Structure 1
């Protein structure tokens, strides 16, 4: 009886073992639950044993291999599924899609573009997050020593910054060693590191702020004053200051404004200092002190006494003649003299307007006493200016020939005679 029960127990144990063995499943085999999948790191997915997809891949039916992390091992022949985080399997190594221009950010396990010069990088990861061998400092891609280097975009390299007045290349804005210098053309049109317009080169060969108007300066540098129309010179207290040039004056806006030349604009309220050449500012116009008796000599840049009639003069543009009806013109083959203009004639050392038609004149008077095309003739016991065989309009003789009735009759008779002969 005991033997029979022992046999039954063995049969039951074998049955259980058979059921257990029959339910075991490898990768890609059918299953009903995770317990059916006997391969380590596999799971039952939709009735089939699969490697845990987020972390492993199938190496064989009985092996699930961990997927490679960034820089880890993968299997190129199988593909990118052997890498974690959507990395690419290249040459059996898990990498970003474009390793030369991307880096792997471990903070969120993604590939990101490397930063260019001045671009964003990740300091905690390192310089590999920058392009062109740049350094990642404070999450910004920079040259190794920013104070002494600049980034040359022409070849994407960091180079030593350029000293003041040395040759440079237009483009990079920070290539000059002096922070207040910039690459621009000098007086010879050569590109050099020169002080910006707001700065000047001092005795220490450094670019410093230009000096405000009336502030202390040091003689020597010609462009140290902030106002371009100012210069460093001694003031009334023998102190060197940035003061307006002699051609300018300080206006109400504390700026140097150009002084007016002869006939130019000035500021009466400010005074004669707003005019050039010691001219006087009268009603906001630069003039000679006594305009009635003086003229401005544009060659000598000074006011001179006006020139009397028949006296030598130089140029007419300055209107040097004292008589308002006189002009500076050549007298025959001699020198220029102040002579009456064509609308006047000399009388008692002054110019008098020529007389119109039918105005009294002097017998044997000046040849130009009457207007053009008129002469002084006796009319009813008086001498008057009369047009010379011409018409008169508003007192002037325009020189148009007058056709008398007898002359007109003669012309008509001549025409009739010619027509009669032609018809015969």
Structure 2
């Protein structure tokens, strides 16, 4: 153990006598009195220098005593009183409450909910959230779950087959899974229709003529195709030329048009896109299994998010008593047109929804609308508007709060709050005096001026921008940190917010096509770009060539590619790397293999494989061998190379 000891010396040059008048000792070193301890926030206890309560020994700062996170003072007196609001006394130290964090060393402010702006992860309320791109965000592998108070908590994502909650985004662990209804009308994390399940993973379904596994998952082939043996190799093929969705030739004979389509209750007719296809009869609908199923009648159970045609004409699939049923379309429901009556109560008679009335909408059309004391819910009911301080729904109807109030986060809960007079966005009267514009607007650094729509409002000064909290914040300069998806005005003129080295910064305009800041698709010359969030970005299926800054079509497998660019390969499971000849080409990642120009996941040990298939279809040194009359990836030979090396080494040593 090495301790730092500083000696304060006085040397008498006449006598050459050295006087030691003070010794400073680092933390952890022996001492006899507190005055000897180097750090003013340390004291001598049991003959050792230790940090005081509320401080910790910071090894990164030469063992100095650094104040602990959340400490806003001390409470050594008998009353143990903390004078900072939202703090508490613990062992003579004042800490911010666990629901708050320290600001400027002397203030405790409420921690931030998910989605709120932040600078450090400790500012986030949820312990499973972190500050990413200046927003409190659930950590990887977690999703935001909304509780009864409309606040969100971070929960672990659900595995395939697990029950999930409808209408919540990104809750399934597999990127290619989604929460939808299974065959038993239960919401579960299931592979998307474009993927199928292998083990506990969703992999892409195989396209026509792609190699498939005999006896494998019945959904491994896209659409209505099946895995068939063709020229000694199993491939995804349509069962016949007249499966659902395949083109056919309509016959002029009255019943001949049906003959070509082999699926029961299908017929050859014109689709809505004008193409002649094998389609289910009009009294049937196509199921997810590509069968033709009779359309459901009134009050029969239907599937949420299922086919729009599953209910018979004149009915639609709607939630009734916690289950989805085919119900009649309601005449004079909310939003439907009606005829305003001149009688006192005639307005209400036509509209069947409780607390609705027939009146003129803001678009000038007479409709069935909720009364002004009510608002339209997501279930198309009329709900009484919430009063002051009542709980409201984030991102819900703008009319859910009574007039003069709006839905705002208060103490981690959304409540109806009073509108602030002369707040940002409120109307004001422009003054002719020099300072008169600013006098009416209560928000600091706001002024009363004309907006782009020609209306005079309280707006942030041109050197500031409006934050999500309704404050005016100074606009960021070049290379300063900015917020992803934040205000378009957060960066000063001629700069924009862009990712650089995994951090979003305000950067100057680029001279090349992609990346420039525009307001419409017509302002840039590359035809393969779109204007997204005021940025020119390559269209789907294209990538940005770093040498030319022009969007080029993504590159197919085994085709040369520019190594400096990113995301240049068309297959999501491919990457641009050197091949055996030293040429950069798009090839499947090491976890995948090339099967008919598609990268498929390599098979694990004991998984079934294709005899005579790709040499890399099995992981590592495993091979596709016949095991108990089934071809499987067999790793029995994986020890042979190492055994051969061992024998060779012994032979070399003997000689």
Q: TM-score range by the shorter chain?
A: 0.3 to 0.5
| Rg (Cα) greater in structure | 1
Given the two structures, how large is their TM-score scaled by the length of structure 2? 0.25
Q: Which structure carries more helix by proportion? A: 1
Given the two structures, how large is their TM-score scaled by the length of structure 1? 0.38
